[in-house]
Chain A
Amino acid sequence: MQIDFMVVFSYWQVLAKGLALTLAFTVTCAILGSLGGFFLSLLRLSKNRFVSVPTGLYVELFRGTPLLIQLFWIFFCLPVVFGISVPPFVSVALALTLYMTAITSETFRGALKSIPSEQHDACVALGVARWNKVLYVIFPQALLRAVPPLLSNVVSLFKESALISSVGIADLMFVGQNISNSTARPVEFLTAVAVIYFLVAFPLTRLVGVVESRMLRRYAY
């Protein structure tokens, strides 16, 4: 069988639709997950054991199990547990969001920890106490420092989103596999899909580096 990459171009519309769905899920779950992760990281700082322990366990659970199993669990088990039928899109979005929440909470936690202790000392020396300190000194710096790893998290989410193809969601991965099966041309189509993922993820990854060197060097160190 001859390898012919031209075939890919005749399917560009279907592939584009798949990509659109992938991006839709990525962006939605990235935003929701980042917000969730932010609040979760605040909860984890709580002195109250009843708050900090369960939230810690949540993070360990989502980081210590394959995303595939999380997806399957939410997709197959959640409707059973709650006795309601959940549309596939919702299940999938929920799984991705919960995963993103867990990893971004670690990102925010790391950002908070990376603020040098001398900053806290300076606040004491200036008499800038609790809420003022948190609002004007700690939070701005934590958010700034969190941006590069957060962008990395979004790129990870973009890649992990390919898993939703395994429960039948017509994302880029699903579409690519479908076409490659029906045309019996896996090399052309799977490679094409790989290239598409690469063309989105690679610039974003480079952007992380640029943000880190330009922005952080100016405002964070």
Chain B
Amino acid sequence: MTVPHLVASTPPVSLVDNKPCGDFIQLRDVYKSYGEGLVVMDRLSLDMRADDRLVIIGPSGSGKSSLLRVMMGLESIQGGTISFQGKPYIDGQPGKHGKPLDTRLQTQVGMVFQHYTLFPHLSVLGNLILAPMKVHGLSKAQATEKARLFLARLGLESKLHAWPSQLSGGQKQRVAIARALMLEPKLMLFDEVTSALDPEMVIEVQNVMLQLAEEKMAMIIVTHDMHFARHIATRVVFCANGKVVEQGPPEQIFTSPKEPRTREFLQKVLHLD
């Protein structure tokens, strides 16, 4: 499978404050802490457009995974608001529970995790059809057909009846992506999905993500792989201490970062390249 060559487009910039704008997702002053002074999102604001592919980079504990988990509704925020597709999505103001208000909106977000979260007691087919059948009411035949199609797109049709324990790490992650895609989400979240894989399997998973990018899927990716980030991102967002420090097109961020903090981080990370 050839690797599609992507050119990141420059997102429109607000004339008011020169920051990228977008109305697909808007985080405004989002605050999240785990108590005892462990603040992971400190009045964080971020915009995203429907054709954006955001890659979030930054030191550990800077709230990257928390941002994804909050968007998925796995964790709550204690301050700020988040809107999704122009509608209010999460309200973190005092008195509100800080989790998705509308479960229908929540179902339009899909997420893939770092550690294989395939259900081990179900076959690949079982994993793929569980949610479509139980949550979206598809019949078994419809769901199976859809599963077959999705696996074929990823080149895994032969694994339809295999068990997760029989798959390699890369295959498991690809099935996990297919499983999320079965629900036809508008936004895909990838939380360090290749970090736990052996190097030779990283490429096959990244290729799937590039394939999705070609199909214009909106995504937010957290990754340590700067090379891949450069390739897939429309915008790179550098977070530290719970705030967005700098954001911009990948070439700009990686070759000439404006903020000293960004420079410092990239020096540490990229010198391994």
Contact between A and B in the complex (any CB pair below 8 Å): yes
Task: Give complex CA distance A129, B183 in Å.
Answer: 14
Please tell me if A118 contacts chain B, counting CB pairs below 8 Å.
yes
Please tell me if B12 contacts chain A, counting CB pairs below 8 Å.
no
Closest chain A residue to B112, Cβ basis: A125
Please tell me if A160 contacts chain B, counting CB pairs below 8 Å.
no
Query: When the two chains form the complex, which single residue of B72, B110, B111, B131 contacts A128, counting CB atoms closer than 8 Å?
Result: B131
Query: When the two chains form the complex, which single residue of A118, A124, A141, A217 contacts B121, counting CB atoms closer than 8 Å?
Result: A141
Known: A128-B130, A128-B131, A140-B121. A218 touches B107 (CB 8 A): no
User: Chain A residues with Cβ under 8 A from B135's Cβ?
Assistant: 126-129, 132
Task: Give complex CA distance A221, B73 in Å.
Answer: 26
Q: In the complex, how many residues of chain B place their beta carbon closer than 8 angstroms to a beta carbon of chain A? A: 27
User: Chain A residues with Cβ under 8 A from B179's Cβ?
Assistant: 126
User: Chain A residues with Cβ under 8 A from B131's Cβ?
Assistant: 126-128
Is there an interface contact between B113 and A121, defined as CB atoms closer than 8 Å? yes
Query: When the two chains form the complex, which single residue of B73, B118, B119, B130 contacts A124, counting CB atoms closer than 8 Å?
Result: B73
Is there an interface contact between B121 and A121, defined as CB atoms closer than 8 Å? no
Is there an interface contact between B165 and A126, defined as CB atoms closer than 8 Å? no
Kindly supply a per-residue 1/0 record for chain A positions 185-221, scoring 1 wherever the CB is within 8 Å of any chain B CB and 0 otherwise. Answer: 0000000000000000000000000000000011111
Supplied contacts A124-B73, A219-B165, A220-B121, 12 more A-B pairs, CB within 8 Å: A118-B113, A119-B119, A121-B72, A126-B131, A126-B179, A126-B180, A127-B131, A132-B134, A136-B134, A219-B163, A220-B120, A221-B165
Chain B contacts to A: CB under 8 angstroms? 69, 72-74, 103, 106-107, 109-113, 115, 117-121, 130-131, 134-135, 163, 165, 179-180, 183
